[in-house]
Structure 1
Amino acid sequence: MKKELELKHVAPYLPYYLEAINEDKEIKCVRWGIQTYTKRHVGLNFLLIKQDNDFKPLLRPMSDLFKNIEHQGKKVNVAELIVNWDDDLEMSREETGNKAIWDDDQECFLRFNIRTDRKHDNFVNGLRYWIVEILFEYHFDVFGLIEKGLAEPIKS
């Protein structure tokens, strides 16, 4: 079964000015939003896509989660941002070299191994929703689309 890019993979990124690369290797901003709304009609801004393979979203590999990245002209470490947002969280580096974020009950709820082996599309299951929103805002590839050839990595 061939994997295809679906709306469920792209939709969570749309409020955060997702960029995509087209078949001509031109980077375009995919701006989607509601222009008008009435009981009978919703007017939308949308990018006309001729075929499913016309574009690939530009996403960050999960390996960038603990790195300083540039986002909208500013340097940010998203893992530190997550930890600083919630006093119950702390970030650690395990002896194996894996990095993880822990809550105050020493329950690991976001673990990242540099050689991520994601066998399922449910990576975000079990994460706090506000963390998932941050991952979408900073364009992290939570669905493993880069590995599947359905997205291109953002060059850091």
Structure 2
Amino acid sequence: MKLELKHLAPYLPYGLNLKINTPFGATDRKFEIDCGHDFNLHLSECNIKPILRPLSDLTKEIEVNGEKFVPYEMLNYKPTIKHVADYPFSFIDLQYISYYSFDCLLEWHFDVFGLIENGLAIDINTLKE
């Protein structure tokens, strides 16, 4: 598995943070995404990794935009999330959650594509403040 635009695009409306290592060193500057045909090649050349939360954080208190909450409790109030309780939090069968819930996971930067375990994203919990 390699990081592709299809893995990053769903997060972009929510201000995704990235770690970028170029041949010239690490950078934290903002860049404009050119989604041309060679974009996936640039992803691998520059070693771009999104900073995401593992699904195991669903039951932990997180902070998003200055607000602290437990994501599962927020989603649990939605009747369409009822099947999620039947699955361990290291794996969620995304066919059982609503579009609203999936969109919330993207907004809160949860790793819904398994990128962390494949070494293609950085676990936010491993970063130093």
TM-score (norm 2): 0.74
Alignment match, 2:112? 142
Q: Per the alignment, in what secondary structure is the counterpart of residue 22 of structure 1?
A: strand
**Where has structure 1 moved over 3 Å in runs of 4 or more?**
24-30, 47-50, 109-112
How far apart are residue 132 of structure 1 and its match? 0.4
Retained in 2: the 8 A contact 1:13–1:139? yes
SS at match of 2:17: strand
Between structure 1 and structure 2, the one with the greater Rg is: 1
Could you tell me which amino acid in structure 2 is paired with residue 56 of structure 1? K
Question: Partner residue of 1:58?
Answer: 51
Identical-pair percentage: 37
Structure with the bigger percentage of helix: 2
1:1-150 matches, within 5 Å, as 3-23=1-21, 24-27=25-28, 45-46=32-33, 51-53=42-44, 54=46, 55-84=48-77, 86=78, 88=79, 102=82, 108-109=83-84, 111-114=86-89, 116=90, 123-150=93-120
SS of the residue corresponding to residue 145 of structure 1 reads coil
Counterparts in 2 of 1:130 and 1:5: CA distance versus 1, 3 Å = same
Alpha carbon RMSD of aligned pairs, Å? 2.7
Distance (whole Å) between structure 2 residues aligned to residue 83 and residue 140 of structure 1:
16
SS in 1 for 2:2: coil
TM-score by length of 1: 0.63
Instruction: Give distance in 2, aligned partners of 1:130 and 1:139.
Output: 14
Show structure 1 runs of 5+ residues with no match. Answer: 31-44, 90-100, 103-107
Task: Flag the structure with more relative contact order, 1 or 2, with Cα contacts below 8 A and sequence separation at least 6.
Answer: 2
5+ long unaligned stretches in structure 2: none
